[in-house]
Structure 1
Amino acid sequence: MNEFDFTIIGAGVSGLFTAIEIIKEKPGAKILIIEKGPSLDNRTESDVYNGFGGLGISEGKYNFSVDFGGDLVDKIGLQNTTYYLSKVEEYLNEFNGKDSLDYQSHYFQAPDESKIRFIDNKVKHLGRKLSKEVIKSIFNYLVENNTQVINSVNILGIEKKNSKFLIKIEGVENLIISRNLIIATGINSDFVTNLSDKFQLTKEKSRVDFGLRMEMPSNQLNQVLGDDLEVKMFYKDLYTYCMNKSGNIIPKKMLGFSLADGQNHREGKLSDNLNFCLFKPYYFEDESRLMNYLNNMMEEINKGNDELIGQKLSNFDPYFKKKNTINKSMNYRESDLYIYLPEDLLDDTKEFLHELDVLLDNGIEGNSILYGIDIKFHSPKIKTDSTFQSSVEGLYFVGDCSGVSYSLSHAAASGIYLGRHIVE
């Protein structure tokens, strides 16, 4: 069978949730999912960010806030965004995700003079083990409902003829024919760039978020956390991300770079520390300039052997005084961060920590560690209509590759939204 109603390129959460919703809205629809990476069963630790399930099996952390994680509110409105985020949670529970670590980070009432903004956020944190079980359950549902999945293949060419898309994939002699083509490749920017160039689609600037991951005593933020496990803070265009109380910092590989990532306490051994990342967005005129900048920066940081840099907070900024010893959770090369990282990121980080220090009765521990660097990648935003359809009829871009979402929850929500509207 080589002719399909819907072909989805990319088996990350946006593609999978699109397929789920198409099945629910139009039972019997012929769906094909094409994934460049390995199947779920064949994914290894080195494939954490590549293969069936995509980033959905990394830490599996879904934030159900309309205030961050993407621009869905601008795209589909506040009411729709709220509704479709709730559907993501519903489907995660339906596909064996009920045993996740669920919590609410409540709004902290900061003094009026504080420049830090705190927001409410509901979190569903699956972790890697449960994420794989959820993705496996989704896979079984898809194949039981007329969906064909092809893994570990490259797409050799895409054409459009007589209102249908003709797709040539590696190892398959006959062309794939599809009435609708949904691109859900996440941050696979090369593929999206080449396709958008071929069909002369309009793109905006390329975005990447650089961040420092901070490790401090586990009780450091109790004053703003209360009984919660996480608090969301914003300062200027900085935002906190992936806070893990009693968790550890671990290395991760992404796009060939070695980065500093956070792990929740259920995934590894309990620690006496808390970690979170503080991100700042940056924009480049095109993808080639972005990658040139990244390659140069990461070559100096990783030194060709996956090294990571870090700096004690008291060395980074003498304003902060040492009080207690902190047991680091990951090795790093003690470095002057200003040698390697953007100056405005570091200056704004200092300002944020000063503001936070004022809010805390006991201040911030100078033995806290700043690790460099974590990176959140974004695809260039493709111009699409309110249903994620591009200027080419039947060609859709959804999830992170659309540039509209940059989180698991918003990517999945955009997929559900598209799946419901594409069958109308």
Structure 2
Amino acid sequence: MKKYDVIIVGAGPAGIFAALEITSLKPEAKVLILEKGPDVNKRICPSKERGIPCINCKPCAIVTGWGGAGAVSDGKLTLSTEVGGHLGEYIGEKELNELIKYVDNIYLKFGAPNEVYGIDREEEIREIQKRAILADLRLVPAPIRHLGTGRALEIVAAMKEELLRRGVDIATNTPVAEIIADHGKVKGVQTTSGEYYEGEAVIVAPGREGAEWLLKESLKLGLKTAVNPVDIGVRVELPAVVLEPITKVVYESKFIYYSKTFEDKVRTFCMNPYGEVVQENNDGIITVNGHSHAHKKTENTNFALLVSKTFTHPFKEPIAYGKYIARLANLLGGGVLVQRLGDLMDGRRTTEERLKKGLVRPTLEDATPGDLSLVFPYRHLMALVEMLQALDKIAPGVFNRNTLLYGVEVKFYSSRLELSPVLETKIQNLFAAGDGAGVTRGLIQASASGVLIGRELARRL
């Protein structure tokens, strides 16, 4: 049995930054990081490499592995307290702003580019905001530092080398089965292979893919959780020139809309200028996402359109609900479905022949032409259509018959633990961080949550 000062479950941004902060402040600390997915140099999707359908790798190297889901996603650092999570509710806006600056500087140190989108163009941003208001949309301006998929992997690889140099033990392909606690204090963790690691403190940062596991462990440990909204929607793909007047100013435009029919919140998320649509395997469920690479470009732009739904008593399983919707798409198409907007509005399924007639060439070739109206509940579908119509008013060409819709995109970060201002649970020395704990929704705040815990543990050690 090995003993550590700190055990970190999950090698995403929260886990990595917690380890960096602890070892920076307390170089003598014994730290272990356990990650269920592959090492950074093994994060390869076989289906994409070979041009074949998803072979259901367990775990999926796209959503798990060193660097977390964000390392092989688009890699955007949103330098604003307004978006990216709830961390400000725990520590206050001022401290969060300081943490964001601190974390951003660390990314720069490890190779992030100097360019930041959405600053020094206030007049153009105000004009977009004005047009958005007239379309019943709210633009949330947020400076963006874009890493890009390839560069993001290089950065997290450099962080791993630095942690190894500092003496941190790292074990990839090592899923944790159980958090061990006794008399209100954490004792360690046990892996799926039966290995037990004892730790003075444990940080659980399993990411979105591990949110369901963390919820089950929390219930076993008697921890209280709140139900976050579940975000379900589509990935929209269209010619890059349609959104270029906006993306060249703010890169990723975060628009919020409330549907007229049901007043459901709809938002744009993860906009990828000149990017590509990709699929992910979430524990056997095929969902869709988008990337924008640092070194290669396409002629299309893609973004997520997500409908947020908060469930009330007695329903407490929003993650299960999101997976149910995604499974419907998998059932109908064997994976991700794609439909032309014109076909959706005409009440017919998209076929291979109709897809070829369209002006937008799909960047996700594995998607099956189909009918998304057979997948989404009516109120979700209405909200998505209304949002696309609103976006068309500020970017003519969005609501075009050739625009492609891929489904389903789901964000699995719906369990939110009851935590202290330093993100400690009711169990002493058990901390929770990142998207999987429902605290954050993006790279910057996830990284900041790791720093916050790292500082607290360095103080205690």
Q: Normalised by the size of structure 1, how large is the TM-score?
A: 0.88
Does residue 110 of structure 2 align to residue 110 of structure 1?
no
Cα distance in structure 1, aligned partners of 2:102 and 2:452: 10
Is 1:202 the equivalent of 2:224? yes
* In structure 1, C-alpha distance between the alignment counterparts of 2:432 and 2:186, rounded to whole Å: 16
Paired residues in the alignment total 418
Amino acid at match of 1:50: T
> Does residue 191 of the first structure (1) align with residue 225 of the second (2)?
no
1:43 lines up with 2:69 in the alignment:
no
1:261 aligns with one of 286, 289, 303: 289
Say if 2:38 and 2:173, in contact at 8 Å, map to a contact too. Answer: yes
The reply to whether residue 375 of structure 1 matches residue 410 of structure 2 is yes
Query: Structure 1 residue 167: deviation in Å?
Result: 3.2
Per the TM alignment, residue 398 of structure 1 is displaced from its structure 2 partner at its CA by 0.9
Q: Secondary structure at the match of 1:50?
A: coil
One-letter code aligned to 2:67: G
The 3 A distance-change label for structure 1 pair 9 and 114 is same
2:378 to 333, 337, 343: 343
2:149–2:293 contact (8 Å) kept in structure 1: no
Is 1:326 matched up with 2:347? Answer: no
Q: Distance in 2 between matches of 1:308 and 1:168?
A: 35
Match of 1:67 among 82, 85, 89: 82
* Offset of residue 235 of structure 1: 0.8
Computed over aligned residues only, the root mean square deviation of the Cα atoms, in angstroms, reads: 2.9
Aligned to 1:411: 446
Q: Give the Cα–Cα distance (whole angstroms) in 2 for the partners of residues 48 and 242 of structure 1.
A: 16
TM-aligned CA deviation for residue 325 of structure 1: 2.6
Q: Which of residues 385, 391, 398 in structure 2 aligns to 1:356? A: 391
| 1:92 partnered with 2:126 | no
Match of 2:19 in 1: 19
Pick closer, same or farther for the CA change 1:17–1:219 going to 2, 3 Å: same
* SS of 1:28 mapped into structure 2: coil
Displacement of 1:338 in angstroms is 2.0
- Aligned partners of 2:293, 2:43: CA distance in 1, in Å? 23
Alpha-carbon offset, residue 339 of structure 1:
1.5
Residue in 1 aligned with 2:50? none
In structure 1, C-alpha distance between the alignment counterparts of 2:136 and 2:332, rounded to whole Å: 39
Within 2, Cα distance between the matches of 1:418 and 1:80? 14
Q: Give the whole-Å Cα distance in 2 for the aligned partners of 1:265 and 1:172.
A: 39
Tell me the residue number matched to 1:81: 96
Residues 316 and 87 from structure 1, CA distance in 2 versus in 1: closer, same or farther, beyond 3 angstroms? same
Q: Within the alignment, does 1:178 sit opposite 2:172 as a pair?
A: no
Which range moved further: 34-43 or 279-288? 279-288
- Which residue identity does 1:110 align to in structure 2? K
Please tell me the residue identity of whatever aligns with 1:232: K
Aligned to 1:389: 424
Whether the aligned pair in 2 keeps the contact of 1:12 and 1:184 (CA below 8 Å) is yes
CA distance in 2, matches of 1:364, 1:158: 48
- Give the Cα–Cα distance (whole angstroms) in 1 for the partners of residues 242 and 446 of structure 2: 32
Q: Is the 8 A contact 2:235 2:405 kept in 1?
A: yes
Q: 1:384 to 1:104 in 2, by over 3 A?
A: same
CA deviation string 1:212-252 (max 9, x = no partner): 11122222124444544332211122111121222222323
- Is the partner of 1:110 in helix, strand or coil? helix
Contact 2:179 2:188 in 1 (8 A): yes
Distance 1:231 1:34, change over 3 A: same
Paired amino acid for 1:139: K
Residues 107-148 of structure 1 deviation map (CA, whole Å, 9 limit, x = unaligned): 323245431011222222223322222112111111221311
Correspondence for 2:53: none
| Letter matched to residue 260 of structure 1 | V
Change (3 A) 1:142 1:412: same
The Cα shift of 1:186 comes to 1.3
Tell me the distance in 1 between the aligned counterparts of 2:214 and 2:328.
28
Q: 1:120 and 1:159, CA in 2 relative to 1: closer, same or farther beyond 3 A?
A: same
Once residues 437 and 382 of structure 2 are traced to their aligned partners in structure 1, the CA distance between those partners, rounded to angstroms, is 31
Q: Alignment partner of 2:40: what SS?
A: coil
Q: Is residue 226–residue 416 contact of structure 2 (8 Å, CA) maintained in 1?
A: yes
Give the 3 Å change call, closer, same or farther, for CA 252–171 of structure 1 in structure 2: closer
- Looking at structure 2, the residues matched to 286 and 412 of structure 1 have their Cα atoms a distance apart, in angstroms, of 34
Deviations along 1:263-309, whole A, 9 cap, x unmatched?
215454522x2221111223456998445544543333123874322
1:239 aligns to 2:262 (yes or no): no
Counterpart code for 2:378: E
Match of 2:353 in 1: none
Unaligned ranges ≥5, structure 1: none
Deviation, 1:402, is 1.9
What is the deviation of 1:397? 0.7
- 1:123 is matched with 144
Q: CA deviation at 1:151?
A: 2.3
Contact between 2:110 and 2:159, CA under 8 Å: does it hold in 1?
Answer: yes
Amino acid corresponding to residue 351 of structure 1 in structure 2: E
Per the alignment, residue 308 of structure 2 pairs with 281
Structure 2 gap ranges (5+): 46-59, 259-264, 347-356
Paired position in structure 1 for 2:28: 28
Conserved? CA contact 1:312–1:367, under 8 Å:
yes
1:336–1:413 CA distance, 2 compared to 1 (3 A): same
The answer to whether the Cα contact below 8 Å between 2:230 and 2:308 also exists between their aligned partners in 1 is yes
Q: Is the 8 A contact 2:337 2:408 kept in 1?
A: yes
Per the TM alignment, residue 382 of structure 1 is displaced from its structure 2 partner at its CA by 0.4
Q: CA deviation at 1:333?
A: 3.7
Task: Out of 12-21 and 223-232, give the one that drifted further.
Answer: 223-232
Q: What SS does the aligned partner of 1:41 have? A: helix
Secondary structure at the counterpart of residue 124 of structure 1? strand
**Per residue, is there more helix in 1 or in 2?**
2
Q: Distance in 2 between matches of 1:210 and 1:343?
A: 13
* One-letter amino acid of the structure 2 residue matched with residue 103 of structure 1: Y
In structure 2, do the counterparts of structure 1 residues 158 and 85 end up closer, same or farther at CA, with 3 Å as the change threshold?
Answer: same
Partner Cα separation in structure 1 for residue 322 and residue 62 of structure 2:
21
For 2:242, the equivalent position in structure 1 comes to: 220
Superposition TM-score, scaled by structure 2 size: 0.82
Higher mean Cα deviation, 121-130 or 406-415? 121-130
Q: Check whether the contact 1:259–1:375 (CA below 8 A) recurs between aligned residues.
A: yes
AA aligned opposite 2:227: K
Once the two structures are TM-superposed, the CA of residue 184 in structure 1 deviates from its matched residue by 1.0
Q: Is the 8 A contact 2:238 2:398 kept in 1?
A: no
Structure 1 distance, partners of 2:339, 2:62, is 27
The one-letter code sitting in structure 1 at the alignment partner of 2:276 is N
- When residues 37 and 355 of structure 1 are mapped into structure 2, their CA distance, relative to the original with a 3 A threshold, is closer
The alpha-carbon distance between structure 1 residues 292 and 232, as it changes in their structure 2 partners (threshold 3 A), is: closer
- 2:456 paired residue number: 421
